[in-house]
Amino acid sequence: MAITILDTSKRLEVFTYEDYLNLPDNGKRYEIINGELYMVPAPTLGHQDTIGEFHLTIGIFLKANPIGKIYLAPTDIIFSDIDVLQPDLIFVSKEKFDILTRENIQGAPDLVIEVLSPGTEKRDRTIKLKAYSKFGVLEYWMANDEKATVEVWRRKGKKLVFHALLDKTQTLTTPLLPELEIPLAKIFQKG
């Protein structure tokens, strides 16, 4: 099977989860969104620092308040046979543990976090936002490590809507993780 990445004008077939499972184990990460295959580039060190701080902060909170689980990429979320995404960080509440399998997450988690990078920002802001909204994710955070900001999108009715843009002088909170306060200065600390 020929793998088409990004050129939708000449795509002859729709990629499925079965196709995804048969991709070569070449160290590259892939996602399928609406039947289209995308390669996910390796993250920068700033990206890794940012997602690491989020993971550590939320993970410590969850140890003291066991209301769910947090997962780092690469972890597959199977939304449908033609929608398999790997956000940078995923939170699943206890109420949704039935979507957790040994291999992956099958259904909408409560929260997904993506750290924007030049190679993925457009996709994160458009087709991934649309997919997370369509499949029922409750909250989506887009962190920008270069600008030290977090864009928060929350579910309102049937879709995700813009909620807030926070900078490193502010504290991030969410009803999904009651009593957790995340000082963004800690997330975006340099050095």
Q: Would you say residue 13 lies in a domain? A: no
Q: Would you say residue 34 lies in a domain? A: no
pLDDT (tens digit per residue) in 42-67: 888 999 999 999 999 999 999 999 99
> Does the pLDDT value for residue 9 go beyond 60?
no
Confidence class for position 191, pLDDT limits 50, 70, 90:
low
Q: Would you say residue 19 lies in a domain? A: no
Confidence class for position 72, pLDDT limits 50, 70, 90:
very high
Asked which of 9-13, 37-41, 119-123, 177-181 is least confident by mean pLDDT, the reply is 9-13
Q: Would you say residue 3 lies in a domain? A: no
Mean residue pLDDT of the chain comes to 92
Highest mean pLDDT among 1-5, 7-11, 118-122 belongs to: 118-122
Helix (H, G, I), strand (E, B) or coil at 141: strand
Could you tell me which of 58, 62, 39 has the C-alpha nearest to residue 143?
A: 58
Could you tell me which of 10, 6, 14, 24 has the C-alpha nearest to residue 127?
A: 6
The parent domain of residue 164 ranges over 43-187
In the numeric block, the tokens 């955070």 are attached to 141
pLDDT value of position 119: 84
Q: CA 183 to CA 45: how far, in whole Å?
A: 21
Q: Would you say residue 5 lies in a domain? A: no
Q: pTM value? A: 0.91
pLDDT value of position 11: 52
Q: Would you say residue 77 lies in a domain? A: yes
Q: Would you say residue 98 lies in a domain? A: yes
Residues of the chain with pLDDT > 70: what percent?
Answer: 93
Strand order of the β-sheet with 36-40 is: 36-40, 29-33, 83-85, 77-80
- 106 backbone dihedrals φ, ψ, rounded to 5°: -115, 85
Give the CATH number of the domain where residue 49 resides: 3.90.1570.10
> Does the pLDDT value for residue 164 go beyond 90?
yes
pLDDT (tens digit per residue) in 94-146: 999 999 999 999 999 999 999 998 888 999 999 999 999 999 999 999 999 99
Q: Would you say residue 116 lies in a domain? A: yes
Token pair in block for residue 129: 């936002």
Confidence class for position 7, pLDDT limits 50, 70, 90:
very low
Domains held by the chain: number:
1
> Does the pLDDT value for residue 84 go beyond 60?
yes
